[in-house]
């Protein structure tokens, strides 16, 4: 059953859903959570596979055709490939992507692709073992790279994207290795500006290594040519002038792309968030478990999406960092 398209109060057509399947993670990245971790959600607070599938199926009838599964770390969710398989049967779903830290990819890559995952983003912030260990607090670079290679070898996988958070005083040293990776592989390497979603609430603008700075550094080594930006795309993507590889920049802080944002988010405990930096959430878990029908759920979603924020306000006077961290919201 097709429903009216999902539109916010600023006229933006919503087509993209990020679903956090768990708040748990097997890494402890310094920009995300403390070394001792965070209090996890109780298991009965987390949406079940049937509940996630029902919400995604409903949203797909309203034009939300692109879904990305995140965490925490989604691959730590028990039987995660089974959820991917359930979602891939939704008729109106056109794109089913996964964001992962790659630690369990060597184990799960075949099963995830067979279940219907079409695209993958793998987060790797350093290609040097000791610096990867320093940032993630896990000595796991070799395992992540093995998983990345395994994924790239699986037939039917779309372009694999490698994401690195750009941190001033850290990422500059990583550039040569990441540029070499982009130029010698089929991966699109992307740098994401550090955003105020850390558990310690210690973020400052001085820590943000801006995409424009990274672009200038890379362009001086190997000239870059811009590719046309797709509507609502998060990344500004460039190809190397000699045709060897692509680099992307997600400049969420310095060059916000809020104007054509078409994304909403569903947290692991069933809260609908209309912006990564929302201060308010809409509970879908309670009505789901109380027996609400699809028409009732649709109205709850539409009311929430109508109030979607115009922009995120980072760097403006009065900006308030959300209480939830990136690991709890879902990337």
Contact 236, 225 (CB under 8 A): no
- Reported as a pLDDT band with limits 50, 70 and 90, residue 33 is confident
pLDDT of residue 173 exceeding 80: yes
pLDDT of residue 11 exceeding 90: yes
pLDDT in tens, 177-224: 999 999 999 999 999 999 888 877 788 889 999 999 999 999 999 999
- Reported as a pLDDT band with limits 50, 70 and 90, residue 313 is confident
Place of tokens 């060897």: 244
The reply to whether omega before 238 is within 30° of 0 (cis) is no
pLDDT of residue 331 exceeding 80: no
pLDDT for 228 equals: 92
Question: 30: number of CA atoms within 13 Å, CB side?
Answer: 14
pLDDT of residue 292 exceeding 80: yes
Topology annotation, domain 16-329:
TIM Barrel (3.20.20)
**Alpha-carbon separation of residue 3 from 7, 159, 221, 287 (angstroms):** 12, 32, 50, 20
pLDDT in tens, 113-160: 999 999 999 999 999 999 999 999 999 999 999 999 999 999 988 889
pLDDT of residue 102 exceeding 80: yes
Give the mean pLDDT of 16-33: 94
Each domain of the chain, given as residue ranges in start order, spans 16-329
Phi-psi region of 245 (alpha: psi -120 to 50; beta: other; left: phi over 0): left
What span, in angstroms and rounded, lies between the C-alpha atoms of 302 and 289? 19
pLDDT for 315 equals: 79
Q: What is the pTM of this model?
A: 0.95
Share of the chain above pLDDT 90, in %: 82
In the numeric block, which tokens belong to residue 87? 């979602």
């Amino acid at each position: 059953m097709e429903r009216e398209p999902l539109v916010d109060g600023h006229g933006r057509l919503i087509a993209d859903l990020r679903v956090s399947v768990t708040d748990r993670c097997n890494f402890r990245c310094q920009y995300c959570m403390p070394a001792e971790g965070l209090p996890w959600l109780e298991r009965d607070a987390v949406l079940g596979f049937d509940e996630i599938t029902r919400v995604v199926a409903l949203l797909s009838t309203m034009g939300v055709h692109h879904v990305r599964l995140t965490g925490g770390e989604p691959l730590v969710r028990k039987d995660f490939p089974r959820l991917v398989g359930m979602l891939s049967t939704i008729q109106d779903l056109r794109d089913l992507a996964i964001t992962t830290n790659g630690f369990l990819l060597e184990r799960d890559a075949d099963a995830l692709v067979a279940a219907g995952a079409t695209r993958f983003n793998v987060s790797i912030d350093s290609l040097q073992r000791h610096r990867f260990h320093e940032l993630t607090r896990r000595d796991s670079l070799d395992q992540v790279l093995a998983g990345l290679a395994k994924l790239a070898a699986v037939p039917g996988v779309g372009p694999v994207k490698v994401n690195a958070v750009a941190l001033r005083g850290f990422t500059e040293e990583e550039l040569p290795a990441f540029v070499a990776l982009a130029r010698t592989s089929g991966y699109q390497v992307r740098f994401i500006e550090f955003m105020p979603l850390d558990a310690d609430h210690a973020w400052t603008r001085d820590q943000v290594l801006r995409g424009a700075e990274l672009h200038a550094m890379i362009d001086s080594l190997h000239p870059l040519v811009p590719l046309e930006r797709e509507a609502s795309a998060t990344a500004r993507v460039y190809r190397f002038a000699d045709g060897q590889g692509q680099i992307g920049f997600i400049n969420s802080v310095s060059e916000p792309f809020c104007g054509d944002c078409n994304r909403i988010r569903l947290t692991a405990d069933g809260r609908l968030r209309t912006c990564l930096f929302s201060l308010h959430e809409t509970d879908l878990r309670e009505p789901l478990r109380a027996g609400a029908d699809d028409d009732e759920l649709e109205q709850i979603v539409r009311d929430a999406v109508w109030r979607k924020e115009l922009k995120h306000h980072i760097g403006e006077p009065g900006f308030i960092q959300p209480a939830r961290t990136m690991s709890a919201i879902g990337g």
